[in-house]
């Protein structure tokens, strides 16, 4: 029996590469098929957020402009494959004043949203209850009203950390 086929390692490696490529392609394509929500919808949702922030004394959102791809905006993190926002981290003494827009409900890949320690007013939009991937949500120390919204408790694995609302 011929055990040493000289082409075997090369063939095997090519085969593995094809499998790897196929898997990576599948992983990257998968999220896009679910709905019409894309990285463009995310960009628009973030622009709505910027619009609703009427007070930004430290210019925290000044990098949120068209000359920079939105994944590189301050406080924004995107997933590598789908280029959709996975984290919005604006926590800190940023003094952002304004309301939280319902448009953020379109950022369905969001896993982390930390907007605590600002000057946000109004209520937490009911629509955010559809962010099923959200793992970590911090809004404490703002001027939000409406108490702890019960609908957020329905988010899977949500670690609520509201503090004082």
Ligand X SMILES: *[C@@H]1O[C@H](CO)[C@@H](O)[C@H](O)[C@H]1NC(C)=O
CA 89/CA 154 separation, integer angstroms: 22
For ligand X, give the closer residue by CB, 9 or 147: 147
The three-class DSSP label of residue 121 is strand
CA 102/CA 124 separation, integer angstroms: 8
Q: Kindly tell me which residue out of 47, 105, 112, 135 binds ligand X, with binding defined by CB under 6 A.
A: 105
User: Binding to ligand X by residue 65, rule CB under 6 A?
Assistant: yes
**Contact yes or no for 118/94 (Cβ under 8 A):** yes
The stretch near ligand X (CB under 6 A) out of 1-9, 10-18, 19-27, 67-75 is: 67-75
The stretch near ligand X (CB under 6 A) out of 14-22, 66-74, 86-94, 108-116 is: 66-74
User: Binding to ligand X by residue 69, rule CB under 6 A?
Assistant: yes
As measured in angstroms, the least distance from the Cβ of 149 to ligand X is 11
As measured in angstroms, the least distance from the Cβ of 12 to ligand X is 31
The stretch near ligand X (CB under 6 A) out of 4-12, 18-26, 38-46, 108-116 is: 38-46
Task: Label residues 92-122 b or e (16+ Cβ within 10 Å = b).
Answer: eebebbbbbbebbbbbbbbbbbbbbbbbbee
Measured CA distances, 161 to 76, 91, 140, 141, 145 (Å): 20, 13, 7, 11, 15
As measured in angstroms, the least distance from the Cβ of 59 to ligand X is 8
């Amino acid at each position: 029996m011929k055990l040493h086929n000289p082409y075997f390692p090369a063939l095997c490696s090519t085969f593995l590469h094809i499998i790897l490529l196929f898997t990576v392609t599948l992983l990257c394509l998968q999220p896009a098929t679910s709905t019409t929500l894309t990285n463009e919808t995310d960009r628009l949702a973030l622009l709505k957020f910027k619009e609703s922030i009427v007070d930004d004394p430290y210019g925290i959102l000044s990098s949120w402009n068209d000359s920079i791809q939105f994944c590189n905006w301050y406080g924004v993190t995107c997933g590598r494959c789908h280029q959709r926002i996975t984290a919005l981290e604006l926590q800190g003494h940023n003094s952002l004043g304004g309301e939280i827009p319902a448009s953020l409900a379109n950022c369905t890949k969001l896993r982390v949203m930390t907007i605590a320690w600002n000057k946000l007013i109004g209520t937490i939009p009911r629509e955010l209850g559809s962010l099923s991937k959200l793992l970590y949500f911090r809004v404490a120390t703002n001027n939000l009203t409406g108490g702890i919204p019960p609908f957020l408790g329905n988010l899977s694995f949500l670690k609520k950390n509201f503090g004082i609302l």
